[in-house]
Structures are given as C-alpha cells and as structure tokens.
Structure 1
Amino acid sequence: MKQIFISDLHIGDGSAKDDFRFDDELIELLEHFEAQPDTELVIVGDGLELLESRAVKDFGLVSFETLVSSLDGKVISDIEKKHPRLFESFRKFSKHHRITYVVGNHDYYLLANQRLKEELVDRLGCEMVPYYYNEEIGLLALHGNQFDLINKFSRGHDGTLVPPLGDYLARYMMFHFDEYLESLVPEEILSDYDNVRPSLDVFHWFERVLEVYDLGVDILELWISTFLKMMQTVEARTWMKENFPHLRCLSKIFLNKWGGITLGSLLIRAVMKLRGARRSDYLFRRAKKLLKEGKIEAQEMIGYTDVEIHLPKLNVVVFGHIHHHAFRIVPVKGQNRFYINCGTWRPVVEKVNGRKKYGFQKKAELFYALVSVPREGDLEITTSVKNKTSKSKFL
C-alpha cells in the first residue's frame, strides 16, 4: 500500500488571492500514481481556497454562522471552471484509488455545510474527514490549525462556538485593505503579503514595496491601522473576551484612542515576532507530544469533533498549515517515530539570502510525502520537493 500526502494547495477561483499556478505539475503527479496499484491520496487540509474566494467576499462581512449556512456549490464550481483539467484528473484518479480530503481552516466551510460537502465529494470523488487515522500503520494526518491560537475554534463561557480570529481577519482585510492595495500595485503583488515567510518579515516586505513603487501612501501604516480598526469590531472583541479575558484592559490601551497607532504597532510587531518564532516549530513540538502520548484532547478539536481522540498506535504524524515542509525523526522509547509537514503549493515570499537589502524572492516548493509498507512489513517514507522560481519573480 502507498499513500501520498499533500497539503495547502489553495486551489482557487482565479480571483486576486488565487495564486495556484501548478495544474500541470499536480496533474503529472496524479497521473504518475494513478497508474500504480494500491495507492491512496490524502489531502491534509486547505486543498481548495474557499476563505479568500470571490463567493465568500460577495457575502460581505456577515457573521461566521451566516456565511457557513449561506454558501452553496457555486464556490466550488467557480474553482472548477478555473481548473477544469485538474478536477478531471482528480476524478480519473478517484475511479481507481481512494482520495481522502482532510479539512483545514481555509476550507472549513466544507465540513460545516452539508451542501458544500456533498458538492465536493461529487466533483472530486473523495471522502471528507476532520482528520485521518490509519491504525494499521499508526499514522495520523491533521491540518494543524487546531494548535494555532489565531486559527482554532474555542468555546464561549456559555458553550457557544467562537470562530477563529484568522477567518474574520482574512475577510475584513479583503474589504478594508486588499481592495485599496489592488488599485495601487500589480495584481500579483496583492497576494504576496499573505505568503511572506517568516511572518514578521511582512513589515520589511511592505517597506520594500514602498521602495519599488511610487505609491504616494504608506501601505505599512495603512495595514497596521486597518488591523487595529478590525480589533475594535464586535467580532474581534468577542474573540478577545473569550480567549484572553484577563488582558482586556491591556488591549484597550493598545487598540483604543488612548494608545493610538504607535502603541498598536508595537503590539502587532510583538505578537507577530512571537508567532514568527513559534511558526516553524510549534507543530513539531505538538507532533512530538502526540507521538509520546497517543491522544488529542477534546478541547483541541473544537469545531471538528468534540471528543478526545485516542491513537493506540502512532508511528507517523502528518501536518500542514504552516507552509513550511519538514521531515524529522522523533525517538520515542528507543523507537524511531516520524513527523512530516507537507508545506504548501502556494508560492512563498522570502528575503533573498535572508537579507532585506537584496530584496524578496517568490518561489514555490512543491512537496509531497509517500508512505508505504513493502512486503517485508517495514515502514518506508519518501519525500520529494520540486523548487520552482523565475528570474522575474523578485521584488
């Protein structure tokens, strides 16, 4: 048996935030494994880009609950119209092999809306799950946003579901920042600030854009002020109240007129620096804990499943979400266990040689992992990454 793991494709509908350009490469991968027997494909979350789609934007800044219940199959058909050959390739693969689709945070609506779920299952020929567990070989595949403070669900004091701040932030910025930025810079630049890695470098990226383009407006200050205004909304305040009840007084100092943009900017930079430091390893730390303990607590799976998950046999943990691929060995009680992060098929934007003065490069690292059990019964893991960039993709 062979299982292919990929994640964070973010296949979109062709709108400004859709920067998936690798239909040919993914079709080639599907065709290669479609011809092999006993093969399964597992998409470890964010296969489709729903959160930043045109259909979601058309609903406006409605509540999370309203949005989840209102979306219909049009959001998926719009994506298929942009990528018809790729969808056909998925269907061809699913005729002979199993496709398991694990839900992430940018495609969460698929899990919560039965109409969307049925639409995608019909179009891709897949099975949709909140997480994937193969007990036979001891493998868990989970997107990973469940362990990210900004992108996980929580429970209010009254037991209600509190949606992730990350969902509202993305939708708020589409209206209050992205549309303005789109009128100032080329379209491909619009999606780049979402793809800057590490996240703290987004401040330097904004400064670089100001150096290259004569915009006549400080877009870094605009982004910060827009973020601060977002944090003053009812939705953000509700999230803050439920997740940080003891820091509400501090947030008022930074986010209201008492502190102004200067203190607000300091707060944002501090938070992003903390997230940037954690971004590359917090999922690895969680994977190590999982491999040692063999369970996921119920509170960590709020919004996906509300029961504790017991994993009696666990040799491999597969995550996505952080857009940084990895393959690491984890010794547990004298035995080797494994952590895989599938990275992303979205482009990443990072400093050339890690230095601001050289500018930023935009590249893609097309990663997949192949887990198999040969006849002799030992577990084999193979990873592959294809790097793609061009001379023109520099800022």
Structure 2
Amino acid sequence: MSLKLFLSDLHIGDGAANDDFVYDLELVRLLNQLKDVDEKYEIVIIGDGLEILEGESVRKIGLVNFDQICKSVNKDAVESIINRHKSVFEFLRSLARTNKIHYIVGNHDYYLLVNDELRKAFTDFMNSDNFEIIPHFYDEENGIFAQHGSQHDLMYSFTIGKNGDLIPPLGDYVTRYTMSSFEPMLKSVHLPTEIVRDYDNVRPTMDAVDWLEYINSVYKIPVDLVGEWVKSFLKIFNTQEFDKWIKSRFPRAYGFGEFFFRNSVFFQMGRKITRWGDEIQRFRGTNYLKSKAEKILNSSNMPQWKISEKDVAGYSKEVPQIDYSKLKVVLFGHNHLPGFYVIPTPQGARYYVNTGTWRPLVEKSRGKWGQLIFHKKTELNYAVIETNKGESIVETHLVSRVVLN
C-alpha cells in the first residue's frame, strides 16, 4: 500500500502584509497523522507552497522587469519564510529524511525555478535527496499527472513569441504593480488591518470591484476605491510590460487595444468595463482548468489535446512524455477553487481534482432583501490517493472554517 498527499496554494509567507498562513499547527497535525496510515507516504505540493511573489523581499526590489526580478530575488525571500514558520519547515525537513516530497512550482513561487540562489537556499535547508523542486509531477505507474495550473491561465502563463522568445506573464507584473501602488493607497484610508488583507483574498478576482464598493459603503470612506482601482490598472496599460504582452497575445487586435487602453475617455467607462467582463465570465460559466483537464484526459483519442510546448513554456524545456491511454487523474491548483469531477472518456471514467487553497476566501452573496454582502471563510483542502495491489482510491478533503461573530 502506498499513499500520496496532494495539496496546493498554501501561500506560506514571511509575515508581511500578504501572509495569511496561520495554519502551522493544522498542517503539521495533518502531516503527522498520515504517518499512521503509511509511514513512507509521499507529498506532492502542487505549486504556490511558498508566497514569494507577494513577500517583502520582492516588494523592496520594486517594479523592475521580469528578468530582473527573477535575478534579483535572493535567499532572504526563502529564509524569512522558513524562519517565520519554523514548526512547519522543521517537520517537513525531518519528514524528508524518509519520505519523498515533490515541490511543484507555481506562479507565486516561480522564481525558485530560475534563481539558483533561491532554490539552493530551500534545498540546502531541506538537506535531503528525497526533496525535489519540479515544474510538474507525473506518476506513470498509477496514471497521475499534476501541474500548478497557472500555465493555462491567460494572465499567468508564458507566451512563445514569433521569434521563439519567451514573453513573461502579465499577472506577475500586475501583482507587483498593485503591491506598490494600489495597496498602499488602500492602507492609507485607515481601514482595519484585516479588511485591507481581505482585498487579496476576494474570489473570483473580478468580484473585487463589488467588494471595494461594499467597503466604501460600510466604512464611509471619502475615497472612490473603485475609481482608484481602475486608475491603477489603466496605468498598467501604459507600461512596456503590457505593451509587449498584448502584442504577443493579441497581435491582430493590437491596433484597437492601442487606442482603447490609452484613450482617457475610456477611464469613465472603467466600472462598466469591469462589470461587463464579470457578467460575461458568469454567463459562460467557465472553469478553464476543468476544461483543460478534460482535454488532457481525452488526449489518447484527440492527439491535438495532448500537453504541448506552450503548456509548459517558461517552466520546462521538455514536454512531459505521458502515456495518455493509462492516465487516470489530473490535478491542478492555482484558482483556489477545490473540486472533484468525473470526466467521461471512451476508456471509461477519469478524474480531475483541484486541490484548492489554505488561504482565506472572501466571497460575495446576497442578504435577505437582496443587498450585497461579503462573507469570509477559510478552506483547508487536500487530496489523497491510496494505491493498494494495483487499485487506487482518490479522496478529497475539504475543511471549511468560519468565525462566528
């Protein structure tokens, strides 16, 4: 019998403003309990285990371009996280003496993949050959493939340019830009600290517009938060990073975008634009990671759906060699939306699992009289796959936690 634990998007940070990980005891308890089931169980962290992108080390470097940020982040980014959450990392290090730990890189810890000093700081601390930092995980024997999922997100995936050059994800720059411009403004209006932290946890992200209006109303803030948010994004549209990204992503529409995003007339349409985008997204009911998983799991019949170079761009130079006829389970993280889905294929039922997150979630709902309200909850999600005598059992676990006022 063998057991594998899959979890993602822990976002364990350095104690700075965007570090919401306060579940050290819960995580250590889970890791310890599984030893009673299988002493040699494996751990697969499906990306964003560490919160490096929104850490203080990255904030101090400032708004440099993507290549510079990748080179400039030093070992302090990892060491400060380890020191802040010693109980978790000391337990992981002790576990790695006997158990394999596969650490997949996501978009918030991407620098581990390309920065030697950063990666060395992490691997030196773990001090075990059982610990590896990888772009994806593939267990051919049991038909399991896991990838963070940012590779299939328009904003957070890399683009291969016409000349074969790699265009970095716009999402990385947007996150760093927001950290340096909009978030300081949000702190300056004297909101409670926990409310400021909630901004980064609104899901889906487009609901942040409604959340800002809600906060405006509840706290009677004399600042148009949505207007400031739109201003911040319009400034991003005038950067070289955005220019390079939109040229590579939408070359045919670039001329229109040049007029649209740089014309001040459209600032006044900012609220409507964001709302239209939100409504379109809801109407389509899209779950792009589930759609991608469906294609991957049906690739033995539709070869064009196999994982390609663009699906691993920026993360790996080699496309994973997968036996699609034997692939049974695909796991993603990234969008913080846990799920377990049965995927029909000509070979029978296959499965897609999203491992969710260990961050707080702020979600929109409606009150008794239809008024807009937001509620906050914490989800501690994970999945386990137990294999015994050639038979595998996939099990997902969801713990939801709320604080009663």
TM-score by length of 2: 0.92
Is 2:362 aligned against 1:361? Answer: no
For the Cα contact (< 8 Å) 1:253–1:259, is it kept in 2? no
2:286 and 2:380 mapped to 1: Cα distance?
A: 18
For the Cα contact (< 8 Å) 1:45–1:105, is it kept in 2? yes
1:202 CA displacement: 1.6
For structure 1, the residue ranges without an aligned partner over 5 or more in a row are none
1:278 CA displacement: 6.4
Counterpart of 1:319 in structure 2: which amino acid? F
> Using a 3 Å threshold, how does the CA distance of structure 1 residues 343 and 58 change in structure 2: closer, same or farther?
same
Identity %: 39
Counterpart of 1:180 in structure 2: which amino acid? M
1:226 CA displacement: 0.6
> Using a 3 Å threshold, how does the CA distance of structure 1 residues 368 and 204 change in structure 2: closer, same or farther?
same
Superposition map of 1:328-339 within 5 A: 328-339=341-352
> Using a 3 Å threshold, how does the CA distance of structure 1 residues 147 and 201 change in structure 2: closer, same or farther?
same
For the Cα contact (< 8 Å) 1:17–1:190, is it kept in 2? no
> Using a 3 Å threshold, how does the CA distance of structure 1 residues 197 and 279 change in structure 2: closer, same or farther?
farther
2:136 to 131, 134, 138: 131
Cα deviation 1:215-262 (Å, max 9, x = unaligned): 210111100111011111111111111111122222233322353312
Partner of 1:192: 198
Partner of 1:242: 248
For the Cα contact (< 8 Å) 2:13–2:19, is it kept in 1? yes
Partner of 1:311: 322
2:367 and 2:246 mapped to 1: Cα distance?
A: 34
Is 2:145 aligned against 1:143? Answer: no
2:210 and 2:364 mapped to 1: Cα distance?
A: 9
SS at match of 1:359: strand
1:180 CA displacement: 1.1
2:168 and 2:81 mapped to 1: Cα distance?
A: 24
Partner of 2:307: 296
1:372 and 1:322 mapped to 2: Cα distance?
A: 25
Counterpart of 2:175 in structure 1: which amino acid? A
For structure 2, the residue ranges without an aligned partner over 5 or more in a row are 301-305
Partner of 2:109: 107
How large is the RMSD of aligned CA atoms in angstroms?
1.9
Counterpart of 1:96 in structure 2: which amino acid? T
For the Cα contact (< 8 Å) 1:298–1:307, is it kept in 2? yes
Is 2:350 aligned against 1:344? Answer: no
> Using a 3 Å threshold, how does the CA distance of structure 1 residues 40 and 53 change in structure 2: closer, same or farther?
same
1:365 and 1:232 mapped to 2: Cα distance?
A: 37
2:401 and 2:299 mapped to 1: Cα distance?
A: 38
For the Cα contact (< 8 Å) 1:8–1:321, is it kept in 2? yes
2:177 to 154, 168, 172: 172
Counterpart of 1:64 in structure 2: which amino acid? F
Cα deviation 1:281-314 (Å, max 9, x = unaligned): 2111110110111530111211012333331131
SS at match of 2:388: coil
For the Cα contact (< 8 Å) 2:366–2:373, is it kept in 1? no
Counterpart of 1:363 in structure 2: which amino acid? K
> Using a 3 Å threshold, how does the CA distance of structure 1 residues 72 and 246 change in structure 2: closer, same or farther?
same
1:69 CA displacement: 0.9
Partner of 2:161: 156
Partner of 1:206: 212
1:136 and 1:57 mapped to 2: Cα distance?
A: 42
> Using a 3 Å threshold, how does the CA distance of structure 1 residues 318 and 354 change in structure 2: closer, same or farther?
farther
1:267 and 1:162 mapped to 2: Cα distance?
A: 26
Counterpart of 1:309 in structure 2: which amino acid? P
